[in-house]
Structure 1
Amino acid sequence: MPEPSTPLPPRPTGAGVFIVRNPQSGRDVIRRDPSDIIAERLPDARVHELRDDETLADVVSDAVAGDDPPAVLGVLGGDGSVSRMAHQARRHGLPLLVLPGGTFNHFARSIGVDTVDAAIDALVAGEGMPVTAAEVSTGAGEPVTVLNAVSVGTYPQVIAEREDRMDRMGKWLGGVAATWRALRDAVPVVIAQEGRRAKVWSVFVSVGRNAPDRVAMMQRQTVHDPLLDVRIHHARGSRLRAVASLAFGRRTIAILRAVGLMPPDSDVERLVVREFTVAVRTPDGAPSVYVHDGELEEQAPAGYRLHCVVVPDAVRVYAPTSAQT
């Protein structure tokens, strides 16, 4: 059946739109600079380039508290920047404009926004929809908003290694080097969930039901489904299989499955729930981290407790009507 749409106020010139651009997003991807597109099509929008000494939350708070507060919050960046801006949109009760500017743009593609022009088309037409999200917390602090997925285990270990190498090698080469390092050094983590303990390579929590053949769920398959899809990859195989399980492209998964590198179904446990809590303990020397929407979050070395809960219709997003059916 058709998914729900929500008409949003059209902004044909960008009046009332405040856009934060993260210049670090997608810096290793060759693409046309979208600044000219935004300036030409949204001449009345305000665009703020995020500096190294600023946080997105502070920039938005200052804008909302100013003499001319925005009616729409926009972000030009990758999935991490988009999820942080979605959190601010929820906090201030404003609709979100997603301008894809990262490496993968998983969430933007989920809502049918493949280009900056497509996002602006939806803004000009006033087309939008409510999107389900998740809230994730690890302690007494404020929960973070998650739009795609959360992960613990091998994938965060790879991301932590990549972050260490990015300044020297760039994101892409750093990722390749981190993957090779994981083939040698990746270690399982121990989790406790509903009274059960297990040694696992990874846990992925997707917002909404995801493709059943995947372990690594980086991009959500639906934007309205008020459920969490959990995949627990038990540590019964090799490091090579653990790293292979991080593949998320359909063709790559098919090839790896054909040559026997993907884990068998018996090694992957699936849960479909509205709320998920897991205690995580990392071995000595391994990074105590988790990842949400590509963002690395460091935790106490002894381990942490991860709590995820689904939030239906969490944020209103500008998106083309063609993506809502």
Structure 2
Amino acid sequence: MWARVALALVVGCVLVVALAAGSGGWLVLVIGFAGLALAGAGVWWALAHRGGARLLGGLLAVTAPVGVLVLYATSGLWVVAIGALSLWAAALASARASLRSLRHPKGPHGRRTPPPSRPVLIMNVRSGGGKVERFGLVERAEALGARVVLLGADDAYTDPELVARKAVAEGADLLGVAGGDGTQALVAAVAAEHDVPFLVIAAGTRNHFAMDLGLDRTDPVRSLDALTHGVELRVDLGEVDGRAFVNTVSFGAYAEIVQNPAYRDAKAATFLEHLPDLLQGAAGPTLEVRADDSRVHAPQAVLVSNNAYARADPLGGGRRPRLDGGLLGVIGARVEGAAQAAELAVLGERASGITSLTAHRVVVEADQERIAVAVDGEALELPTPVVCTVRPSVLRVRVPRHRPGAAYAPPTVDWRRIARLALGHPDPRTIKDAYDV
């Protein structure tokens, strides 16, 4: 039904433009796409150049869409534009609805297990701008019977992996982390190695892993409910050259930029300063990526994820529908000029400069002996070739029985699939267990 509604709305959108053709209806489409393309080209000039070219690119990125709106308003085409855009937006919403077999996606139920008797929680007091102290996580965890080990309380560095190994040796039957994704990955590796449950407390800055587990990122205290009223999920764990990762491994432009000591305190300024050389090939290695039997030649940026993201759009994406698919996601991006940037602005993840794959094993080679790598946001340098693999269902994650659940990530709209659904043909990729939490 939703697929048929989507196609009907597309027909309505075309009719609105066609019926207004005499008064410039087709001009609505041409002007709209031209403005979007010019904005994309402007963003490229702003990112890939310095000085006057950057200034002109920034102005173009801002003025192109504004100019389109002004032209619509002054020429009387705004009624046609609003009508066509409204119908197109409704068509996209209906198309995405048709690709969902359930209104509220559900996945495998967590397995109920007894509460831990000797849980150990490792908390980074600096993570997330001080969420551990702000939410009183130490006191709340200790009141539930957990032993808490603090990191970052002084200037001395404490290795969370060593703390986790010591806790297991002393009899801990659950390991938990209140901190960033990088700290979580180190402790998760120890938990998987010793087959003890792992608890994620959403006290980091972005908490991508917590989001995909369906935890409440606005209130990390709710994560502690897993200690008393929890269930277990089996999820995958990524590995890059023997080091675990729960979210992503980045190569190329982003990985090179985060190596700079100034990045942590001045992210935007450092990004704008170094990106032109990386995009134009004046800095950074030339990468070659092998994802099982597929190859990606000389991408400017590569993202390898523990399970694939819902969308390959580097400007969007959002989240991973599954954490137990047993596959790595691979997104490669190469934009070589303003024309390709304009194409990316119009087509998004379908642009020729974007490659999206899944694989069991990813090998990244380069023309340098060592390359910059960002593992769950942590800046590292690793010898080439760098090998990424996935360990299916090795991590026992304990989550609260009652949790918000992962936000729905809308799929990419493939109109051929929509047409098949509208004609009554079954779609094997629309399955009711598509989401794991």
Coarse TM-score class (shorter-chain normalised): 0.7 to 0.9
Distance (whole Å) between structure 1 residues aligned to residue 349 and residue 256 of structure 2: 19
Counterpart in the other structure of 2:393: 313
Counterpart in the other structure of 1:178: 270
Distance (whole Å) between structure 2 residues aligned to residue 212 and residue 218 of structure 1: 8
Question: Counterpart amino acid of 1:40?
Answer: R
Counterpart in the other structure of 1:252: none
**1:228 shift after superposition:** 1.3
Larger radius of gyration: 2
1:25/1:150 CA distance change after superposition, 3 Å: same
Q: Please tell me whether the aligned partners of residues 148 and 219 of structure 1 are also in contact (alpha carbons under 8 angstroms).
A: no
Counterpart in the other structure of 1:87: 189
**1:34 shift after superposition:** 4.9
Question: Counterpart amino acid of 2:114?
Answer: P
- SS of the residue 2:228 aligns to: helix
1:276/1:40 CA distance change after superposition, 3 Å: closer
Correspondences of 1:267-278 after superposition (within 5 Å):
267-278=353-364
TM superposition score normalised by structure 2? 0.58
Identity of aligned residues (%): 26
Q: Please tell me whether the aligned partners of residues 135 and 220 of structure 2 are also in contact (alpha carbons under 8 angstroms).
A: no
**1:40 shift after superposition:** 3.0
Counterpart in the other structure of 2:120: 18
1:75 and 2:171 are equivalent in the alignment = no
1:281 and 2:281 are equivalent in the alignment = no
Distance (whole Å) between structure 2 residues aligned to residue 160 and residue 236 of structure 1: 23
Question: Counterpart amino acid of 1:154?
Answer: A
Q: Please tell me whether the aligned partners of residues 231 and 400 of structure 2 are also in contact (alpha carbons under 8 angstroms).
A: yes
Q: Please tell me whether the aligned partners of residues 124 and 132 of structure 2 are also in contact (alpha carbons under 8 angstroms).
A: no
Question: Counterpart amino acid of 1:294?
Answer: G
Q: Please tell me whether the aligned partners of residues 148 and 218 of structure 1 are also in contact (alpha carbons under 8 angstroms).
A: no
- SS of the residue 2:112 aligns to: coil
**How many equivalent residue pairs?**
284
Distance (whole Å) between structure 1 residues aligned to residue 318 and residue 372 of structure 2: 17
1:224 and 2:329 are equivalent in the alignment = no
Counterpart in the other structure of 2:336: 236
1:298 and 2:381 are equivalent in the alignment = yes
Q: Please tell me whether the aligned partners of residues 157 and 289 of structure 1 are also in contact (alpha carbons under 8 angstroms).
A: yes
Counterpart in the other structure of 2:206: 104
**1:293 shift after superposition:** 1.0
1:34/1:84 CA distance change after superposition, 3 Å: farther
Q: Please tell me whether the aligned partners of residues 193 and 277 of structure 1 are also in contact (alpha carbons under 8 angstroms).
A: yes
1:165 and 2:262 are equivalent in the alignment = yes
Relative to its length, the structure with more strand (as a share) is: 1
Distance (whole Å) between structure 1 residues aligned to residue 396 and residue 148 of structure 2: 20
Question: Counterpart amino acid of 1:212?
Answer: R
TM superposition score normalised by structure 1? 0.77
- SS of the residue 1:39 aligns to: helix
Q: Please tell me whether the aligned partners of residues 19 and 45 of structure 1 are also in contact (alpha carbons under 8 angstroms).
A: yes
Q: Structure 1 stretch 222-231 or stretch 49-58: which is displaced more?
A: 49-58
Distance (whole Å) between structure 1 residues aligned to residue 208 and residue 334 of structure 2: 26
Note the residue ranges of structure 1 that are not aligned, 5 or more in a row. 138-142, 245-255
| C-alpha distance after superposition, 1:237-284 (max 9, x if no partner) | 36x96xx9xxxxxxxxxxx936x9x6861011222111111212359x
**RMSD of Structure 2 on Structure 1 (CA):** 3.0
Distance (whole Å) between structure 1 residues aligned to residue 166 and residue 132 of structure 2: 30
Q: Structure 1 stretch 195-204 or stretch 88-97: which is displaced more?
A: 195-204
1:41/1:212 CA distance change after superposition, 3 Å: closer
Counterpart in the other structure of 1:204: 303
Counterpart in the other structure of 2:234: 130
Q: Structure 1 stretch 81-90 or stretch 312-321: which is displaced more?
A: 312-321
1:197/1:72 CA distance change after superposition, 3 Å: closer
Counterpart in the other structure of 1:266: 352
Counterpart in the other structure of 2:20: none
Distance (whole Å) between structure 1 residues aligned to residue 385 and residue 305 of structure 2: 18
1:197/1:314 CA distance change after superposition, 3 Å: closer
Q: Please tell me whether the aligned partners of residues 132 and 138 of structure 2 are also in contact (alpha carbons under 8 angstroms).
A: no
- SS of the residue 2:299 aligns to: strand
Selected match of 1:190 from 276, 282, 286? 286
**1:112 shift after superposition:** 1.3
Q: Structure 1 stretch 144-153 or stretch 218-227: which is displaced more?
A: 218-227
Question: Counterpart amino acid of 1:190?
Answer: T
**1:317 shift after superposition:** 0.8
Q: Structure 1 stretch 120-129 or stretch 82-91: which is displaced more?
A: 120-129
Counterpart in the other structure of 1:253: none
- SS of the residue 1:60 aligns to: helix
Question: Counterpart amino acid of 1:22?
Answer: N
Counterpart in the other structure of 1:50: 151
Counterpart in the other structure of 2:6: none
Q: Structure 1 stretch 263-272 or stretch 105-114: which is displaced more?
A: 263-272
